[in-house]
Structure 1
Amino acid sequence: MGLFSFIKEAGEKLFGGKEVEQAAAASAPNIAELNQKAGDAIKTYIEKQNLGLSGLGVTFDGATGKVTLSGNAPSEEAAEKAGLAAGNVASVSDVDNNLQYPAGTASQFHDVVSGDTLSAISKKYYGDANKYNVIFEANKPMLSDPNKIYPGQKLRIPAL
């Protein structure tokens, strides 16, 4: 799928991102251990999304904020959701999504800004504010409520 950029300060706070960055800057001997713990936390978070992934591998580089995903996804949608789940974690700035999946229809992505609502995003991409539920469903279970999106979050906009 390639490399996607995210806002590093936005997202789920799964681990001490500043701790990993500081250890990397200080060349601490435990940087590999901290990166491993962060990668494991991200992997657990992705697996909780129940996307049907197999052989999921997650590595994290605290110095750059980059996550690399490997393994297999049952669909392009599942691969995209896994990449979004990883990227919408605090301290992650880039996701190199190398998940393999069967060919399908490509989606678009939207970076949420202050004042955005799913209805407004739906109007922008589909020309109909009432199709917000399509976007909400495409981003479940990362979204639990259509009214709870935040600036810096990246959303999947599926083709209709």
Structure 2
Amino acid sequence: MFRIPAALALIGLTLSACGPTSHVSYTKPNVSNNTANRNFVECRQEANALFPAAIFTESVPGYGGYGGYYGGSPYYPGWGGSYVQASDANAPLRAQHLSDCMTLKGYQRQVHPICTSAQLDGRQYQPVTRPPASAAANICAARTQGGGTTLIDLSKPL
């Protein structure tokens, strides 16, 4: 009786762990936002050209719901079915090349944590126009409505 809710909770917990936990930015003193953005786009285009997407799919066994097949067991109806998992074999190579390219152009890589819901708590904060030269505890990355990410300063509420 409790197996299905427990399985659904486990699946939800597993999927929530798939989201990114940090945001990477690159900084360089005395460089305008336009120049930094242009350099980033050039490096990303070069990485995409050198390491194009190589998508592989595999069928992964999983919970099929009551619409799935019974899995050959009369005791656990609904178990079975599968879903398709896609992965890009070249994604780590692209990310490494992008980082190397920006480093060769004189930028320093900075990692910022993703803002937690407790930190945001329904409030709005001042966006950071330029990443700080060093890691700051009050800077985190928040999701935007368009699906992107922006750095915000938790010490500057709107």
TM class by shorter chain equals under 0.3
Based on CA coordinates, which of the two structures has the bigger radius of gyration? 2
- Please identify which structure carries the higher strand content: 2
* TM-score, normalization by structure 1: 0.26
